[in-house]
Structure 1
Amino acid sequence: MQGGRWRRIGGQAGRSITVWAVSTLTLLVLAGILPDFRLQSPSGDSATRIAVTAAFGAGAFGMLSAVVWPLLIRLLLLVPALVLGLLVFFLNGSLLLLALRLNPSGEPQAAPETAVVVAAVMSAVASATGGALAVRDDDAYRRRLYRLSDRRRRRLPPGPSAPGTVVVQLDGVGHDVLRDAVGAGLMPTVARWLGAAPGQRPSHRLTPWRTDWSSQTGASQLAILHGSNHDVPAFRWYEKETGEVMVSNRPASAAELQRRAVERTGDAGLLAVDGAGRGNLFSGGAEELALVLSVSARRGRRTRSRSGYFAYFSDPANAVRTALSFTAEVAREIGQSLRARFRGQRPRVGRGGLYPLVRAFATVVERDVVTAAVMGDLLAGRTAVYADLVAYDEVAHHSGPLGRDTRSVLHRLDRCLALIEKAAEHAPRPYRIVVLSDHGQSPGETFRARHGLTLGDLVRAGCGLPVPRRAADVRVDAGQRDSARSGAEARAAVRAALRRPAEEPSPRDRPAGRRAEPVVLASGNLGLVSFPDVPHRMTEEEIDARHPGLLRTLADHPGVGFLLVASEEHGGLVLGAHGARIPLADLDARPGPLAAFGPGAADAVRRTHSFPHTADIMVNSSHDPAGGDVLAFEEQIGSHGGLGGAQSHPFLLSPLALSPPCGADGTDGEVVGAEQVHRVLRRWLREADGPRIPVGEQPDRRAA
């Protein structure tokens, strides 16, 4: 044992000396080719003196990178993530200038802009050399990956241990999109798992599943991690008793939704036993968290919203590489946007402003940080890990789910899966890698582009309220038309861009007798209309008495597929064009407007009707079954949130070592609803880690 220890020390020393030597050589080469960087005095020095100067400079830069850089990154946690790239280059160059000034000869000099370039190259070369040497030594490679995790570490007892489970969520990737990407050679890692190449034996199975009516991350991931998405009717909705708009990706809302789910199930979550959550909306009860929205507002070392960045960026090479990739992604998005505009591509939405930076953050920074955190979790031997990679979903919203832009994102996500698989090979326990998506995406124009008005405009017209001039030709049964002030229209556009609710006064501040304007919210191709001055959910009869033309205006519009409203006579009704009016109890025999939305639509609508916070009017856009297109009520050409098309059909990619997914009746039927996915994952965790994983009581999906 003593000899093994000395061999490890000797190996580490050898690797450090090799990295130092390569860094010294790199510094000499850069000094020879960059005009504003020199290692010798103006009068010239001997070759030996220049070599010593380079060696000292390389060593000092390496020491500063190892000691000072992590402290600087701690300070960077206070800086907005979108300015991280510029700071990375500036700080790395500053460390090089400091290393040169510490040189006893006092001769090395570099212009500040040249120092940035030299520091970036030095960091990349040192990291590549150290990584290449470590790969040849399993113990060294394991330690290198292990340093990526920023958490209290524990070591498993020696000897065989139960398999762990890592679940990677590819946000927004539909079942058909994944299958087509594998067939096109874009995802070789997934193709290998599925045995797609001749002579390969599959290690995984690919299974589609069907979402709830609310086909979006908030509802799906809440149910997957916490077992219940009861009373989550959409991505955003209005709650009358508080006068607040709940938004799934708002920290306060996410925390409240998680609290409600835990209260309903009596179970902390899927990850409550030795779990880790990375990049998710909800914690799943995990002990170790990073970049998890529902805890981002809390204070504490392990729950800070950006604490997960430290581990990754504490390596300056990671920081430089990600900053370069971030810059390249911004340029790629600008180029792709200009190409789409010059070609007159349709459909198309605006992609200016801060969007290139947001896309680069989702497709580079978040991807790299979450992947590194998962690799660290595997090396730490965590029992269960759940991580969300949002890159595809973000790009598909603006570029469409089937275009060239998203194909390149899928290829890079496959490389992330390959890195996770490689880390699992060096983990202290075996791992089973599950990949899934929370929903798909459906292509199509926006409602506004197709019909020249927003859903809010249409609702105001149906209520006889002033509408913008561009919507003044909307015909309503009540025959009332007017035009809105341009200023009001501009403010509404700004609020929509900021995802803010309409500025309505609270009930106690509203003058007596004044009727509040409706609150109209959008979640992809699902719209919600609420009347804030009525404390309960309004019925069809009440809405008709108040606004006689509203329901018919909405139901008969060609961009609307169907409506859901409460009814005093029937309990609930689905309304469609041409006077269609079908009670919920009769939908199985008479699907009416739901027929175009496929099997399961009636059950999904009935379940949402039972929610306490279902809006007064639920509006689902029209759907073309032939092309799978929907009309988004938001400015998105790839959308999800309602019924129609690929958005309702995500996937489960699971190892063959785990039991097959099955339906609610325990057979091989289709997995329906995110709550059923939770039960499947919990079963797999129990199969892998035995009785330590509790079964947990599951709510009745039919409960009102």
Structure 2
Amino acid sequence: MAAVNLRRLGGRLRPAIVVLLLDWAALSIAIAVTPGLSASTGWDVLLAAVLLAIAAAVLRPLLATFAARLGWAGVVAGWLLTQALLVYLALILAPHIRVDGFWPAFWASWIYSILVSAGMWLVTAGDNSAMLAHLLRSTKQTRREAATTTVPGVLMIQIDGLSAPLARWAIQAGNLPTLTRWIRSGSHTLAEWHAQLPATTPASQAGLLHGASAHVPAFRWLEKETGRLVVTNHPRDAEYVERGFSDGRGLLADGGVSLSNVFSGDAPVSLLTMSTARRGGRRGPTREVSSYLVDPFGLTRSLVLTVGEMVKEVFQAKRQRARNIEPRVHRAASYVALRGVTNVLLRDLNLNLAAEHMMRGAPALYCDFVDYDEIAHHAGPTRAESLASLDGIDWVLGTLEQLARSAPRPYQIVVLSDHGQSQGATFLQRYGTTLEALVRRLMVGDGADVATAPDNEQWGRVRALLTEVGGEQKVVGRLTHSVLEAHEEPAAPGPATGAELVVVASGNLGMVYLARKRRRLTLEEIESRHPNLLTGLIAHPGVGFVMVRSGSRGPVALGRDGVHHLADGRIDGTDPLAPFGPHAADDLRRHDTLPHVGDIVLNSLLDPVTGEVAAFEELVGCHGGLGGWQTRPVLIHPAEWPAPGPLTGADAVHRQLVSWLDALGLRTPPEPPG
């Protein structure tokens, strides 16, 4: 027994000793290189490191609470000054250390924090014990205040863009240790579901969180009746769309928490969520978030690793070019920063927020991690850097699993995705022209102007963060050719602007609007106004099929060698939908009924040899249309739960999730009408 106790004590002391030695080394370097600081011996620095650890343990929680009361400005000031104050206090208390005022200590504190962050990453690479200890320490007060219960809560983690085939391969290869352990042990079951057209995050989350995917026809679209161009990764537009379908009974309505999503699921607590960002930011930071920001293991660590991620991106992009890996896209400087923010900073912040609300005992949490989706867009869905981001999310899952053991209630974990991704050289790379330019060329002689709506999907995550922190929205998206004005609601580029067409793209799904008519036009009307348009689109080798609505025959899918009559299933010639799988016709039938669908809907080619598609955006990995793995997301759930049948569409997954929550007693019955 004594030997067992000694081993346990050694196991607890070993990490503390490693941290102390690292602090000692970092503080020694900081003192040595900072003018105005000096120490007589290394033992004096060791004493200062011990005093710093004691001061941090006693004072940092008090400083974090005080900073949170001052709002985001106080938190930012706390992040800048807290560590400097603690270092200054430790140095002046330690004997034989010369300190020429506060500012030398300020600069030394930053050198110290950066060195500690980098050192901890090296020492604990692949180990979550240090992060787990930090999370438990920062939520200690919350755990004391929370009421305990034996009713399980549910933690739903969305891995944005992960396809079921890729998930199966990564698990079989053992590349995702946490998920592999769950599946191999039989604690969890992996299922695949079909994401209906459009295979985008906003459409899927409208379904997953609200059961309302039919309200979202694409990632961006034009409301011809109101003249509004909707871009769903703008907080203003996300809020506008959610108001149109929210009934107060979303997936998270009963005390749930929405973290980093497009829509809120009617959660009473919604953070970093686009549809609530404009009102959520005015609440100010919580004590736990403030603790994360002022702790050197929190924001400073995240920033150091963010810079490291950016350096890694520059190297990986250069390696792609040097090895002439195809297909590939240009990875601009703006993406370098975006990757660092999404793949490190937002992931760490989401982990801290999830930990906070688990320790509060939230009955249900839904959090979207966009790391993989963002990298796969630019590097490719199965490239090494994309798979490495999956390993980072798997590490988060393992940390949350361990963290749940200290929560005031047990937690079951569900892992799911909203869509997959398909790969391919872009439309521009293949044919030297964009979809917008193609439409413009086909309209030559008709006097039509073309307006487009380009916008990088993942910048919405950063936009939501800045909007929430700032407490106000700044419209940063715009249409090319000055269709949108800053700080104004988007307006239809109709007669007032002289634009005849609006062309929008969501991955390899494109929609064309004849903007001067405030209703959807029929095939016959399009042909009479622009006789070259449909013929030219259908004949183009980069277009797989075109869908329009005929006034007499209903919706039809047109291909180069045949027509699929969607109303009755009749096929003339070669079926243009045959390469796109068994769900293609049903998906198009449904999509034709959605509000605000374009006058012309078109899907890129699907290469029969490589299985690649051609995105209408400059993304080597894409989703939104049909073809490849983009419509094959994954659902991983506890094995003891009733297994779902075939799940077609995000609304079906929503009903299954609600059923599971209801079985656990986490849903309240709806109030009777009246």
Q: Same fold (TM over 0.5)?
A: yes
2:333 counterpart SS class: coil
Q: Can you list the C-alpha shifts for 1:216-240, whole angstroms capped at 9, x where unaligned?
A: 1000011100011123111000111
> Matched residues in 2 for 1:440 and 1:63: separation?
47
Counterpart in the other structure of 1:651:
634
Counterpart in the other structure of 1:407:
387
Q: 1:365 and 1:492, CA in 2 relative to 1: closer, same or farther beyond 3 A?
A: closer
Counterpart in the other structure of 1:677:
653
Counterpart in the other structure of 1:339:
319
- Check if 1:501 corresponds to 2:494: no
Query: Which one-letter code corresponds to 2:655 in the other structure?
Result: R
Structure 2 counterpart of 1:563, from 539, 543, 546: 546
- Check if 1:284 corresponds to 2:265: yes
Q: 1:310 and 1:522, CA in 2 relative to 1: closer, same or farther beyond 3 A?
A: farther
Q: Can you list the C-alpha shifts for 1:656-679, whole angstroms capped at 9, x where unaligned?
A: 1111011xxxxxxx2101000101
Range with bigger deviation, 528-537 or 70-79: 70-79
Q: How many pairs are equivalent? A: 628
Counterpart in the other structure of 1:108:
98
2:261 counterpart SS class: coil
Q: 1:588 and 1:209, CA in 2 relative to 1: closer, same or farther beyond 3 A?
A: farther
Structure 1 counterpart of 2:85, from 95, 106, 109: 95
> Matched residues in 1 for 2:602 and 2:73: separation?
42
Structure 2 counterpart of 1:388, from 368, 372, 384: 368
Determine which structure has more spread, i.e. the larger CA radius of gyration. Answer: 1
Counterpart in the other structure of 2:5:
none
Q: 1:696 and 1:385, CA in 2 relative to 1: closer, same or farther beyond 3 A?
A: farther
- Check if 1:31 corresponds to 2:14: no
Conserved? CA contact 2:153–2:362, under 8 Å:
yes
Counterpart in the other structure of 2:242:
258
- Check if 1:155 corresponds to 2:147: yes
1:354 counterpart SS class: helix
Query: Which one-letter code corresponds to 1:268 in the other structure?
Result: R
Counterpart in the other structure of 1:190:
179
> Matched residues in 2 for 1:343 and 1:48: separation?
51
Cα displacement (A) at 1:22: 7.2
Alignment of 1:50-129 (within 5 A): 56=51, 59-60=54-55, 63=58, 65-68=60-63, 77=72, 91=81, 94-95=84-85, 98-99=88-89, 102-103=92-93, 107-109=97-99, 110=104, 113-121=107-115
Counterpart in the other structure of 1:463:
443
Counterpart in the other structure of 1:477:
none
Counterpart in the other structure of 2:464:
none
Q: Can you list the C-alpha shifts for 1:387-426, whole angstroms capped at 9, x where unaligned?
A: 1100000000000001111111111111111111111222
Q: Can you list the C-alpha shifts for 1:609-667, whole angstroms capped at 9, x where unaligned?
A: 112211111111111244221100000000000111100000111111111011xxxxx
> Matched residues in 2 for 1:125 and 1:273: separation?
42
- Check if 1:436 corresponds to 2:412: no
Cα displacement (A) at 1:30: 3.8
Q: Can you list the C-alpha shifts for 1:298-353, whole angstroms capped at 9, x where unaligned?
A: 15655x69999545324331222212211110001011111112222222212122
Q: 1:508 and 1:350, CA in 2 relative to 1: closer, same or farther beyond 3 A?
A: closer
Cα displacement (A) at 1:51: 7.1
Structure 2 counterpart of 1:144, from 137, 144, 154: 137
Conserved? CA contact 1:222–1:229, under 8 Å:
yes
Conserved? CA contact 1:213–1:642, under 8 Å:
yes
Conserved? CA contact 1:39–1:54, under 8 Å:
no
> Matched residues in 1 for 2:220 and 2:400: separation?
33
> Matched residues in 2 for 1:254 and 1:366: separation?
19
User: TM (normalized to structure 1)?
Assistant: 0.79
> Matched residues in 2 for 1:681 and 1:636: separation?
32
Conserved? CA contact 1:562–1:576, under 8 Å:
yes
Q: Can you list the C-alpha shifts for 1:565-611, whole angstroms capped at 9, x where unaligned?
A: 12111122211114x33322233666811111001111110111112
Indicate the percent of aligned positions where both proteins have the same amino acid: 36
Counterpart in the other structure of 1:597:
580
Unpaired runs of at least 5, structure 2: 1-11, 460-475, 485-490
Conserved? CA contact 2:564–2:570, under 8 Å:
no
Cα displacement (A) at 1:146: 2.9
- Check if 1:271 corresponds to 2:257: no
Q: 1:428 and 1:618, CA in 2 relative to 1: closer, same or farther beyond 3 A?
A: same
- Check if 1:323 corresponds to 2:303: yes
> Matched residues in 2 for 1:40 and 1:510: separation?
69
> Matched residues in 2 for 1:112 and 1:63: separation?
20
> Matched residues in 2 for 1:416 and 1:193: separation?
14
Query: Which one-letter code corresponds to 1:320 in the other structure?
Result: T
Conserved? CA contact 2:61–2:291, under 8 Å:
no
Conserved? CA contact 1:27–1:58, under 8 Å:
no
Q: 1:148 and 1:440, CA in 2 relative to 1: closer, same or farther beyond 3 A?
A: farther
Conserved? CA contact 1:501–1:519, under 8 Å:
no
Query: Which one-letter code corresponds to 2:139 in the other structure?
Result: Y
- Check if 1:168 corresponds to 2:163: no
Counterpart in the other structure of 2:426:
446
Q: 1:416 and 1:225, CA in 2 relative to 1: closer, same or farther beyond 3 A?
A: same
User: TM (normalized to structure 2)?
Assistant: 0.82
Q: Can you list the C-alpha shifts for 1:345-393, whole angstroms capped at 9, x where unaligned?
A: 2222121221111111111111111122222322222211111100000
Q: 1:246 and 1:217, CA in 2 relative to 1: closer, same or farther beyond 3 A?
A: same
Query: Which one-letter code corresponds to 1:647 in the other structure?
Result: Q
Conserved? CA contact 2:79–2:295, under 8 Å:
no
Counterpart in the other structure of 1:238:
222
Q: 1:392 and 1:308, CA in 2 relative to 1: closer, same or farther beyond 3 A?
A: farther
- What is the alpha-carbon root mean square deviation over aligned residues? 4.1
Q: Can you list the C-alpha shifts for 1:538-572, whole angstroms capped at 9, x where unaligned?
A: 11111111111100000111100111112111122
> Matched residues in 2 for 1:346 and 1:279: separation?
32
> Matched residues in 2 for 1:604 and 1:305: separation?
43
Counterpart in the other structure of 1:473:
none
Counterpart in the other structure of 1:585:
567
Counterpart in the other structure of 1:296:
277
Counterpart in the other structure of 2:198:
214
Query: Which one-letter code corresponds to 1:187 in the other structure?
Result: L
Range with bigger deviation, 63-72 or 374-383: 63-72
Q: Can you list the C-alpha shifts for 1:103-138, whole angstroms capped at 9, x where unaligned?
A: 486943357654422244568999999xxxx989x9
Unpaired runs of at least 5, structure 1: 1-14, 196-200, 466-479, 663-669, 698-704
Range with bigger deviation, 59-68 or 241-250: 59-68
Q: Can you list the C-alpha shifts for 1:48-85, whole angstroms capped at 9, x where unaligned?
A: 98776665555445555444356557879469x9xx9x
Range with bigger deviation, 310-319 or 324-333: 310-319
Query: Which one-letter code corresponds to 1:269 in the other structure?
Result: G
1:520 counterpart SS class: strand
Q: 1:29 and 1:651, CA in 2 relative to 1: closer, same or farther beyond 3 A?
A: closer
Alignment of 1:355-370 (within 5 A): 355-370=335-350
